[in-house]
Amino acid sequence: MNIVASKKLQSMTESIFTEVANRKHEAIKRGIDVIDLSVGSPDLPPSSSAVSTLVKYAADPTKYGYTLTGIPDFNRAVCSFYKNRYSVELDVASEVLQLMGSQDGLAHLATAFINPGDYVLVPDPGYPIYQDNVVLAGGIIYPMPLLEENQFLPQLDEIPLEILKKTKMMIISYPGNPVTALADKSFFEKVVQFAKEHNILVIHDFAYSELIFDGNPQISFMSISGAKEVGIEFNSLSKTFNMAGCRIGYAVGNPTALTILNSLKGLVDYGIFYPIQKAGEAALLSDYSALQDQVNEYERRRDALLGGLEQSGWKVAKSPATMFVWAKIPSGWKSREFTFELIEQAGVAVVPGDAFGQKGEGYVRIALVQPAERLSEAAKRIQQFLYQTK
């Protein structure tokens, strides 16, 4: 029997991540100590309150049934978090939708909103699920180039009108992945006006909302006048509260859009484990000073890595946010060639930029998911690698 994946599934971009992982494992088998800076999985622990709450409710045998939806306490905690952190008022009954992580919601987006042949504006480079969810639904991707000369912001006025007439949705993310740029209030205001003018649903991925450095402001798209009329915002407990394995997140904003997405969720899941919801609630209501401590730690890691790279002659732009560095590679290399040689010769694993779109060529994404000392060691290895390959 010849069993093969569908053409849609075969077109997904996951293969490069698999290849990086395979090359890393092969290097480890040969005795190479690999510093893995490829996957954006937090290495810091969740709060003690989240852990103790999870343990408490997991010990209750009555909490093992289907939850079906987000429990009211969790949704209220989201509203409290948004009010305290971003000065955004949310209606708990209609403007909050719990998700099995933001990836879950993003993966189902186009299936909920897009018909075959509809266009979706997607950032290039961008997180792979932005494109993949459109492909799975039969939609058509129109890439929005994120270029350094434009501060990694899409140039909305350059999108042809004939494309906009067929566009149903656009996806943006600030701060983003892999590009770690920030957007200001004026850009978001332009997005709201653009969406109203062309009747486009805006999706803002805000998963790195609390990993913003150097005193830069945290700007939720929902804080912009008119944003709830045109869009929804995804957020996650994975990065903010180091609960990636718990698979819990949420979307907020336009009630009609959330109702549509929730209709699809009702077909594919039965809700998140009650103890995890309570742990998420505890995290959202916890002492926010811990969030600043976490930001300080990631800033230390970023500075340790970039300081070491600069000593090697590789000057990389300072990330203003997220747990990543978006690094323009030295001239003379292609992204994949650079990535694979770095694993083989230096024992450092990163992700080639073209895994995130055509405009990612010439870059690599480096995850700050190791202690500062380990990142300094990675920089030393890269320095030696660059010296040997000159």
DSSP bridge partners of 366: 325
Hey, what are 290's tokens?
Answer: 């811990």
Q: Which residue type sits at 182?
A: L
286-335, pLDDT tens digit by residue?
Answer: 989 999 999 999 999 999 999 999 988 899 999 999 999 999 999 999 99
**What is the pLDDT confidence band of residue 390, given thresholds at 50, 70 and 90?**
confident
Q: What is the pLDDT of residue 312?
A: 85
Alpha-carbon distance of 157 to 224, in angstroms, equals 20
- Count CB atoms within 10 A of the CB of residue 230: 23
Alpha-carbon distance of 107 to 360, in angstroms, equals 21
Residue 279 has pLDDT above 70, yes or no: yes
Residue 137 has pLDDT above 90, yes or no: yes
Please give the share of the chain, as a percent, with pLDDT higher than 70: 99
Alpha-carbon distance of 88 to 179, in angstroms, equals 25
Pair type for strands 363-367 and 351-352? antiparallel
Q: Which residue type sits at 336?
A: R
Q: How far is CA 115 from CA 220, 283, 351, in A?
A: 29, 37, 32
Q: What is the pLDDT of residue 14?
A: 61
Alpha-carbon distance of 173 to 225, in angstroms, equals 18
Q: What is the pLDDT of residue 18?
A: 86
What is the mean predicted confidence (pLDDT) over 363-371?
Answer: 97
Hey, what are 231's tokens?
Answer: 């869009």
Backbone angles phi, psi at 277, to 5 degrees: -60, -40
Hey, what are 299's tokens?
Answer: 């800033």
170-183, pLDDT tens digit by residue?
Answer: 999 999 999 999 99
**Under 8 Å between Cβ of 350 and 378:** no
Backbone angles phi, psi at 40, to 5 degrees: -85, 60
Please give the share of the chain, as a percent, with pLDDT higher than 90: 92
**What is the pLDDT confidence band of residue 13, given thresholds at 50, 70 and 90?**
low
- Domains of the chain by range and CATH? 7-45+289-388 (3.90.1150.10), 52-284 (3.40.640.10)
Tell me the pTM.
0.96
Instruction: Dump strand ranges (E) for 173-319.
Output: 201-205, 231-236, 249-253
Q: What is the pLDDT of residue 257?
A: 98
Q: What is the CA radius of gyration of the chain?
A: 21
48-107, pLDDT tens digit by residue?
Answer: 999 999 999 999 999 999 999 999 999 999 999 999 999 999 999 999 999 999 999 999
220-271, pLDDT tens digit by residue?
Answer: 999 999 999 999 999 999 999 999 999 999 999 999 999 999 999 999 999 9
DSSP bridge partners of 97: 251
DSSP bridge partners of 175: none
**Under 8 Å between Cβ of 213 and 302:** yes
Residue 11 has pLDDT above 80, yes or no: no
**What is the pLDDT confidence band of residue 15, given thresholds at 50, 70 and 90?**
confident
Query: Per this entry, what is the length of the chain?
Result: 390
**Under 8 Å between Cβ of 140 and 117:** yes
Q: Which residue type sits at 272?
A: I
Q: Which long-range contacts (CB under 8 A, 24 or more apart) does 79-82 make?
A: 80/284, 80/285, 81/284, 81/285, 82/220, 82/222, 82/252
Backbone angles phi, psi at 234, to 5 degrees: -95, 140
**Under 8 Å between Cβ of 206 and 171:** no
